[in-house]
Amino acid sequence: MRKEEFYAEAIPNSVGPLEGVKILEATQNYAGPNAGTVLVDLGAESVKIDMPGFGDLVRHAPPFIESRSELDRGAQHLSINRNKKNITLNLKSPKGREIFLELAKRVDIVIENFKPGTMEKWGLGYPEVRRSKPDIIYTSVSGYGQFGPYSHRPSYDAVAQAVGGLMSVNGYPDRPPTRTGNGLGDSLAGWQGALASLAALHYRNRTGRGQHVDISQVDTILYTSDFGILAAANADYHWKRMGSENPMVAPYNAYECKDGYVFIGIALDAHWARFCQIIGREDLISDPRTKALADRAKSRELVNGAITAWTKTKLVGEVVDALDEAQLVVAPILDFHQILEDPHIRERDMVAEVEHPAAGKLKIYGVAAKFSATPARVRMPAPMMGQHNQEIYGSWMGYSPEQIDQLREEGVI
C-alpha cells in the first residue's frame, strides 16, 4: 500500500483522534510527562506545570543543544514535551493549590508522577481533586505504585527494570545484569498511563464516573516479561541472560559484518534450508545438530559460528540484500544518525521537524500510531517554561494582567 492510499480519507488539518480531550500535568522527569506526550501526540491538549524557578529536572539534563534559553537546552525535555502547553505554578503554596483545583475543573484527565503521598501532602491528591471535579480521571505514575510494602520508596527507571525482572535477563551470561540503553521503565509506564487513562475516560463517558488510575513502573516492566512468571512458577525455569539471543530459536542474534552489525532471525526449517544455501553451508541442512528448530537452539554455538564466518566477509548492505531477496528475517542495526537518513523511517514520518523559539529547528521522533481518518502529528515544539501563563491564566481562568502580575510577584507562578 502506498502512503497516499492509506491517508486517502484523512480529515484535513487533523490533529489526531483525541482532539477535544484536555489534560493537566503535574509531572516531572520522564515517566509522567511521557504519559501526557502519548495523549497529546494523538490530539489531546495538555497543560504541563513547572515549579517556578528551577522547573522540570529534564530541562537541566544533558545532552544539551544550542539555545538562547538556559532552560530550553535539554534534549530530553525538548523531545518528550512537544505538543504541550506550559505554565508555572507553585503547587506547595495555598494559592497554587487553589489554582490547581480550579484548573482541574476544566480538564478530563490529571496526570501526576510525584512520589506517593506528595500530592496528598500538598492537598492535591485524588480525594481533593475529586471534590472539585467528581468525574475527574486522576492518573498517578510512580515507581512502585500507590500501595504495597515498597510504595513509599523513591524510584528511577533502572529500579523498575531491576525489580521487574528485565535486568536479570538483559546482558550477557558472563557479565553483570544491565539496563536497556533507553529508559524502558519510564517509557512503558508512560504508555500504560496513557492507555489506562483512556480506558478510564471511556468508562466515564459511559457511566459519568471518574476514578483514580495507579500506574507502577515495576508493574509495567513485569507486564512485558512474556512467560517469565509462569515458567518460573510452573516449570522451574531459570531465565538466563543471553545477550541478543533467544532461548528457543537459533539463529536469533546480532552478527558482525565488515562495516557494522546485522540482526538475523530464522525459525522455520524451510527458511533454515534456504539460508544455508545462501551462505554455502548446505551440509547444515540435514546435520542432526541443526536440522530442526530445537536442534539449532541446542547447537547455537555451531550455528552462530557458521553465520559469523559468512557475515564477517560481507558488508551490512550485502547481507541485508541477500537475505531480504530470499524473504528471510534480517535487519541492519542502525544508530540514530543512520536512522535520520533511513528512507523507510522518513516515509513513515518518524523523523519530525519543529521550530523552537529559542532553539531553532529541531528534529525529533514522530508519532508512532497512524490513523487513516484522523492523522496525528507533531504540531509544536516543547514549550518554554511559563510560555502559556498568559493564555491559561487569562483565557482559561479569567485573570486580568494585573492579577497575573501579582501572582508572579508573590511567587505563585
pLDDT of residue 328: 98
Residue 340 domain-assigned (yes or no): no
Q: Could you tell me if 290 and 151 lie in one domain? A: no
Q: Does residue 128 lie within any of the structural domains?
A: yes
* 105 and 211 inside one domain: yes
Same-domain pairing of 19 and 132: yes
Q: Do 400 and 320 belong together in one domain?
A: no
Amino acid in the structure at residue 327: Q
Whole-angstrom distance, CA of residue 332 vs CA of residue 304: 17
- Tell how far CA 357 is from the center of its chain: 25
Q: What pLDDT score was predicted for residue 370? A: 98
- Residue 137: the pLDDT is 98
Selected catalytic residue, list 186, 226, 259, 283: 186
Judge whether 315 lies within some domain: yes
pTM of the model: 0.94
- Within this chain, do residues 176 and 303 fall inside the same structural domain, yes or no? no
47 and 154 within one domain: yes
The amino acid at residue 91 is: L
Contacts of 92 by beta carbon, 8 Å cutoff, 6+ apart: 122
Q: Which of 329, 183, 179, 182 is nearest to 254 (CA)?
A: 329
What's the average pLDDT block by block, 10 residues per block, for the chain (413 residues)? Answer: 96 96 97 98 98 95 95 96 98 97 98 97 98 97 97 95 96 95 95 98 98 98 93 93 93 98 97 98 97 96 98 98 98 97 97 96 97 97 97 95 96 96
Structural domain ending residue among the three candidates 291, 307, 332 = 332
Count of structural domains, the chain: 2
Domain of residue 42, CATH code? 3.40.50.10540
Tracing cell 523531545 back to the chain, one arrives at 79
Same domain, 374 and 312: no
pLDDT on residue 318:
98
- Residue 217 in any domain: the answer is yes
Active site residue 186: yes
Residue 387 falls within a domain, yes or no?
Answer: yes
Do 219 and 299 have their domain in common? no
pLDDT at 287: 97
What cell numbers appear for 381 in the block? 515544539
Domain limits for position 397: 3-224+347-409
Residue 231 resides in a domain: no
Is there a contact between 64 and 73 (Cβ–Cβ < 8 Å)?
yes
Task: Flag whether 337 is in a domain.
Answer: no
Predicted confidence at residue 151, as pLDDT, reads 96
Residue 339 forms part of a structural domain: no
- Answer yes or no: do 213 and 313 share one domain: no
Say what the pLDDT of residue 402 is. Answer: 95
| 216/307 same-domain check | no
Write the Ramachandran bin of 226: left for phi over 0, alpha for psi from -120 to 50, otherwise beta.
left
Q: What is the CATH number of the domain that holds 310?
A: 3.30.1540.10
pLDDT at 33: 97
- Is the same domain home to 211 and 275? no
Residues 129 and 268 in one domain: no
